Amino acid sequence: MENQSARAKSDLSLLAPVLAEYAPQKGSLITILQHAQDIYGYLPADVLFHIAEQTGTTPAKVMGVATFYTQFRFQPVGKYLIQLCDGTACHVNGSAQIAEAIRQHLHIENGGTTADGLFSLNIVACLGCCSLSPVMTVNDDSYGALTPEKAVAILDGLRAKEAAV
Amino acid sequence: MSIRIAVGQGSCGIAAGAAKVFAALEQQLAGSAVSLGTVGCIGMCWLEPIVDLYEDNRLAARLVRICPDDAARIAEAARTGDLSGIAGLTISAEDSRFLEQQTRIALRNCGIIDPNSLESARAAGGYAALEAVLTGKGMTPEEVIACIKVSGLAGRGGAGFPTWFKWNAARQSPGDEKYLICNADEGDPGAFMDRAVIESDPHTLIEGMLIGAYAIGAKEAVVYVRAEYPLAIRRLSHAIDEAKAAGLIGQHILGTDFSCEFRIKAGAGAFVCGEETALIESLEGQRGMPRLKPPFPAAAGYWQKPSNINNVETFANVAWIIQHGGEAFAAMGTEGSKGTKVFALTGKIQRSGLVEIPMGMTLREVIFGIGGGVRDGRQFKAVQLGGPSGGCVPAELLDTVIDYKELSATGAIMGSGGMVVMDDTTCMVSMAKFFLDFTAKESCGKCVHCRIGTKRMQEILDRIVSGDGKPEDLDLLEELCLAVRDGALCGLGQTAPNPVLTALRYFRPEFEAHTAVEKRCPAHACAALLQYEIDAEKCRGCTACARKCPVGAIAGNVRQPHTIDKNQCIRCGACFAACRFDAVSRL
């Protein structure tokens, strides 16, 4: 995690192709931010300043847009991003118990990342898999019909996989 | 006889394991002549993963709850044509009735065609309506709008505004530069029909949008999709590429003078962007805050140009209406609500999935007839319609007819079609709080009523579920609801009080139990209001509860009845869950 400390300078050249394509198109700020987050994993402050400069707007405007949308993060996330759904169907089917089990198991709060940088937990609104509720996604994989035990077993499985590497 | 296998791979199916089933089948079928393909979501989510076997183009067997271990048996049956070996995997007659009772228009191809194949879409009649509009005798834009007017199609995103009227207004607006926008920012928790349409039949959406663009005179179409729907975005962009290559999108579509470019814009997570002017702000790269109306988007929308915005399901009906005529669509439904509507049936329901039915059916017919009623043998308590903008309809109103007006009369709304069933273990106060938590978080902050009003309402509800509520809180809550409803700028704020108002209207005694002196939660859901007791008669002294109690509040010797120290108890419920003798009771 050393290279992600607040003082570290991001490699802005990675963003050059994105800016070359989208900066001239009006209304593309959100698209640029999405690409930037794909590249850096989150939106570091120096990247936000760079985007403002390159798109001819103010850092305040860029920050205002970025903070409006829940998709954007301003801190690095763990290798596995857990998105636990708390939509209506998941809620009535017990997502709160799943959240509690994950919090206790990983010792993190909503929005937090484990000390080893492996897991981050985000409780999100509907993921649209309501009929499999309660649901969570870990990176690109979805897991449905969760119970507290099943959720913990999934996380343990991922941790074991990491330990084996 | 040739057998074709189709694996349902919508997001739900994949989450249930369909991709693994597909991989296992692929391995088993290697080198055989049996073709294996992907289809989208048939909407029978509780049976996922689903594998369909087609003989020529007839469905020969629908296999449900398939796991990768079944692949060998299925492959064998497909190779030999002898289906007796997989009889045990076939859908039951009772479950089949889920589909048989539906009338599918918007979902007509979902789960049947390959969403990644233009050829498959065209074989199912895709783009025939567009051809009818643009080529041969053709239809003028005015004729298209007239046909939609006859159909009575209304906005399926929730507002229920007549589609023809919006199209006509955008058409009449002066200017050459016009935009057609599809709202696929399906943010209502509990609704997923738009995701299913895009993932399962993206060409129907494209075709509906092209016809709409032609009708209003737009040369550019944009689909604003939720970022949380990555698979939908992938399939839609593939479909756009294929349609472009086939001359169905771009310049001189089908060799005519009509040209229209397509673009996808991924949203970034903000519920308020479902409001059309907020969506436009977001498309322009701004914070998604609603604009004051008028001017309406039809006059000054995207980049201040005439724009028309419709929801995915609305567009998914358009091609069918053009092909079958507006009268055929209008023949279904009620006096004020025409055609069909898709509902996402979820929650404590036996059969959960997508249901498309003609307007005019009752809630009871959908929930009990099609959905099979409440699961686990519990009691039906309420159904939540319309998500955070809607409300809860209680059991005594189950015979309410599905119609925009009739549903609004209950205090709920048709909304985008989320239907979340709740049983007697659901606390209506905490449900009201759940929705308020959502809208308070999603309020964009532009107007005072929504920004501060929802926050204050949330605080009152918080107080009530934590056992600090006072009887007079209920009147204050109601007063705030009415003020927010009347004072908020956009639909999000104006409808945010609905879940609370309907809960108060139909379940007031439950609120009163929470705020009365003894502070009780009748559904046993609000942890802070519960008290746990051990029944000395039933307790065997197994010590299971005492060992589970995180604060050591349970005392007792082995094989002797235990007791809970109420002053130490943190009401976590661990003892209740641990007891195997039903000796721990919640009050």
Q: Which string of DSSP letters, residue by residue, matches B385-444?
A: ESGGGSEEEEGGGTT-B-SHHHHHHTT---TT-EEEEEETTS-HHHHHHHHHHHHHHH--
Beta-carbon contacts of residue A60 (< 8 Å; ≥ 6 apart): none
Q: What is the pLDDT of residue A47?
A: 97
A75 touches chain B (CB under 8 A): no
B454 touches chain A (CB under 8 A): no
Q: What is the pLDDT of residue B494?
A: 95
Q: What is the pLDDT of residue A8?
A: 57
Q: What is the largest CA-CA distance in chain B?
A: 90
Chosen for mutation from B42, B195, B228 (greatest number of chain A CBs closer than 10 Å) is B228
Which H, E and C letters describe B47-102, residue by residue?
Answer: HCCCEEEEECCEEEEEECCCCHHHHHHHHHHHHHCCHHHHHHHECCHHHHHHHHCC
Judge: B189–A89 Cβ closer than 8 Å, yes or no.
Answer: yes
Q: Tokens in use for B96?
A: 């089949």
Let me know: does B548 contact B575? Beta carbons within 8 Å: yes
Judge: B347–A88 Cβ closer than 8 Å, yes or no.
Answer: yes
Question: What span, in angstroms and rounded, lies between the C-alpha atoms of B215 and B139?
Answer: 10
Q: DSSP string spanning A17-35?
A: HHHHHHTTSTT-HHHHHHH
Please give the average per-residue pLDDT across A10-16, as a whole number.
95
Q: Which residues of chain B does A142 touch, with a Cβ-Cβ cutoff of 8 Å?
A: 11, 14-15
Judge: B268–A69 Cβ closer than 8 Å, yes or no.
Answer: yes
Q: Which residues of chain A does B286 touch, with a Cβ-Cβ cutoff of 8 Å?
A: 29, 65
Looking at domain A80-164, its CATH superfamily turns out to be Glutaredoxin (3.40.30.10)
Judge: B45–A91 Cβ closer than 8 Å, yes or no.
Answer: no
**CA distances, B540 to each of B533, B545, B548, B556 (Å):** 14, 11, 16, 11
Choice between B333 and A90, residue whose per-residue pLDDT is larger: B333
Q: Which domains does chain B have, with CATH numbers?
A: 3-100 (3.40.30.10), 118-329 (3.40.50.11540), 340-423 (3.10.20.600), 428-515 (1.20.1440.230), 530-586 (3.30.70.20)
Question: What span, in angstroms and rounded, lies between the C-alpha atoms of A42 and A59?
Answer: 16
Judge: B426–A28 Cβ closer than 8 Å, yes or no.
Answer: no
Nearest residue to B225 (alpha-carbon basis) of B95, B330, B315: B315
Provide the b/e sequence for B105-123 (b: ≥16 CB within 10 Å): bbbbbbbbbbbbbbebbee
Choice between A2 and B221, residue whose per-residue pLDDT is larger: B221
pLDDT per residue rounded down to tens, chain B (587 residues): 688 999 999 988 998 899 999 999 999 999 898 999 999 999 999 999 999 999 988 999 999 999 999 999 999 999 999 999 999 999 999 999 999 999 999 999 999 999 999 999 999 999 999 999 999 999 999 999 999 999 999 999 988 999 999 999 999 999 999 999 999 999 888 899 999 999 999 999 999 999 999 999 999 999 999 988 889 999 999 999 999 999 999 999 999 999 999 999 999 989 999 999 999 999 999 999 999 999 999 999 999 999 999 999 999 999 999 999 999 999 999 999 999 999 999 999 999 999 999 999 999 999 999 999 999 999 999 999 999 999 999 999 999 999 999 999 999 999 999 999 999 999 999 999 999 999 999 999 999 999 999 999 999 999 999 999 999 999 999 999 999 999 999 999 999 999 999 999 999 999 999 999 989 999 999 988 998 999 999 999 999 999 999 899 999 999 999 999 989 998 888 899 899 999 999 88
Let me know: does A52 contact A58? Beta carbons within 8 Å: yes
DSSP state of A10: P
Q: What is the pLDDT of residue B572?
A: 84
Amino acid type, B74: I
Rg (CA), chain A: 18
Judge: A30–B268 Cβ closer than 8 Å, yes or no.
Answer: yes
Nearest residue to B223 (alpha-carbon basis) of B234, B215, A73: B234
How remote is the C-alpha of B130 from its chain's centroid?
28
Q: Would you kindly state where each structural domain of chain A is located, as residue ranges?
A: 2-68, 80-164
ipTM of this complex prediction, to 2 decimal places: 0.89
Beta-carbon contacts of residue B208 (< 8 Å; ≥ 6 apart): B314, B315, B316, B317, B318, B319
**CA distances, A20 to each of A28, B388, B493, B552 (Å):** 12, 40, 39, 63
Let me know: does B304 contact B217? Beta carbons within 8 Å: no
Options 2.40.360, 3.30.70, 1.10.490, 1.10.10; CATH for A2-68 is 1.10.10
Q: What is the pLDDT of residue B437?
A: 93
Chosen for mutation from B186, B192, B349, B492 (greatest number of chain A CBs closer than 10 Å) is B192
A93: nearest CA partner in chain B: B347
Nearest residue to B180 (alpha-carbon basis) of B159, B147, B199, B206: B206
Assign B344 to helix, strand or coil: strand
Q: What is the pLDDT of residue A3?
A: 42
With the C-alpha atoms ordered B549, B555, B557, B559, is the resulting torsion angle positive or negative?
negative
A28 touches chain B (CB under 8 A): yes
Residue A89: pLDDT above 90? no
A129 touches chain B (CB under 8 A): yes
Q: What is the pLDDT of residue B1?
A: 61
Q: Which residues of chain A does B344 touch, with a Cβ-Cβ cutoff of 8 Å?
A: 130-131
Q: Which residues of chain B does A26 touch, with a Cβ-Cβ cutoff of 8 Å?
A: 284-285
At what angle are helices B163-172 and B202-216 packed, to 10 degrees?
A: 40
Chains A, B: CB contacts within 8 A come to 130
With the C-alpha atoms ordered A140, A144, A150, A152, is the resulting torsion angle positive or negative?
positive
Judge: A131–B353 Cβ closer than 8 Å, yes or no.
Answer: yes
Strands (E), B220-289: 220-225, 261-266
B380 touches chain A (CB under 8 A): no
Let me know: does B129 contact B207? Beta carbons within 8 Å: yes
Please give the average per-residue pLDDT across A18-42, as a whole number.
95
Length of chain A: 165
Q: What is the pLDDT of residue B245?
A: 97
